[in-house]
Each structure stands twice: as structure tokens, then as C-alpha cells.
Amino acid sequence: MSQMKATQDRRINRTRQSIQEAVMFLISEKDFDEVSVTDITECANINRSTFYSHYQDKYDLLNKIVEEKLLSLTKRLRDNITHENKYKANFDVPDPFFEALFNHVAQNEEFYRIMFTRLQPAFFIDKMREAIRECYYTQFSLMRMKQKPVVPSDILLDYISSSIIGVVVKWLEGTIGYKPQYMALQLTRLFILGVYKTMEKID
């Protein structure tokens, strides 16, 4: 029975993967609003009943894809959250958090490029920003800061998450000209120095 279930699970996963790959391909070719369930089923080589046995509609499909990818990103980031027992801020050593972020984006470049360029910006960017914000909130909690921050934590979290997203988007627009490790190091230095100190050191 367990072997039969395992076989069935693999079949379900393969079908879902085919559906997800189909919709991502179609979105890369035309606007999501123009993509129909029929387009998806034909591209995935399945019938409509199979599609609806997995997803309510194309919006549910897209949301599931985004949720899975951001869950993967969040897990990677949480595994690399820094606190007093781990990474110490070092001007020449990239923060593992930033390394995890840029490596994940590079490894899933096509997905992120489609999300940032083929969909309404707020749809994905807001979700990714919130994921990063929550991870940093967790990091702040682990740090157990003894003094009250100079800047209110909500403003600080908004600044951090929004600035990181902005850098990631521009990085992708440049077709990832810099390596993930290089980007991670630059953000580490920027966060250590702050904006004004960084500007003083620009050649």
C-alpha cells in the first residue's frame, strides 16, 4: 500500500510540475491576463479535469507557485539568520543572509525574472518584501537588543526589506552581471557602513 501511495504521490507531483512549468512558460510569452486554462492544459498536455483536480483556477495556480517559491526562500533565509552566536559583521566577509538571498535568486533566475517583469509589480514584490521583513524581524528578536533602536523598528524593517528588494530587481535587470557572492558582500558593506559612510568611500 505504501509503495502504491508513493507511486501515486510521484505522479501527482509530476503533473503539478508540468502544469507549473506550462504556466510559467506561457507567462514568459504573453501577459498573464491573456493566458487561459485551455492554454495551460494544452501546453502541459493534460485535460481540463486534471487541471481542476489540482487547482481552482489559473489564479490559484499562480498563487501556489509563488507561495512554494517564497516558502523555499524564507526557509533558506531563516537557516542563515545571524545572531550573536554566529556571524559577526565583517567588512570582507558577506553576511550569510545576503548570500542565501542572492544564491536563491540566481538559482531561480527565470522564475524571479518572470515575477518581476511579466506580472503587476505589486503582486510579487509585496509578497517577497514581506517575507524578507519577517525574517529580519526574527533576527531582531534573536539579537535581544538591550537598547532601544535609534530608528523605530517598523521603519527600520520597511527600509531594510524595501532596499534589498530594490537591489535584487536592478540586479536582475542587469542580467545578473555580478556574482551572488559579490552582491552579498556589497550589501554587507553597505549595511555595516550605512549610506552616508558608503558615499564617502565611493571612488
**pLDDT, block means (10 residues), the chain with 203 residues:** 63 92 95 95 96 96 95 90 65 91 95 88 87 87 67 89 93 83 94 80 58
Q: Can you give the residue ranges of every domain in the chain?
A: 1-55, 61-200
Please provide the CATH number assigned to the domain covering 1-55.
1.10.10.60
Q: Specify the residue for cell string 512558460.
A: 25
CA quadruple 60, 66, 72, 78: dihedral sign: negative
CA 119 to each of CA 30, 33, 43, 55: distance values in angstroms, whole numbers, following the listed order: 10, 9, 20, 20
Cα distance between residue 143 and residue 146, in whole Å: 9
In terms of residues, how long is the chain?
A: 203
Helix (H, G, I), strand (E, B) or coil at 33: helix
* Predicted pLDDT at 8: 66
Terminal CA-to-CA distance of the chain, rounded, Å?
67
Q: Calculate the CA 147 to chain-centre distance.
A: 32
Taking residue 43's Cβ as centre, other Cβ atoms within 10 Å add up to: 18
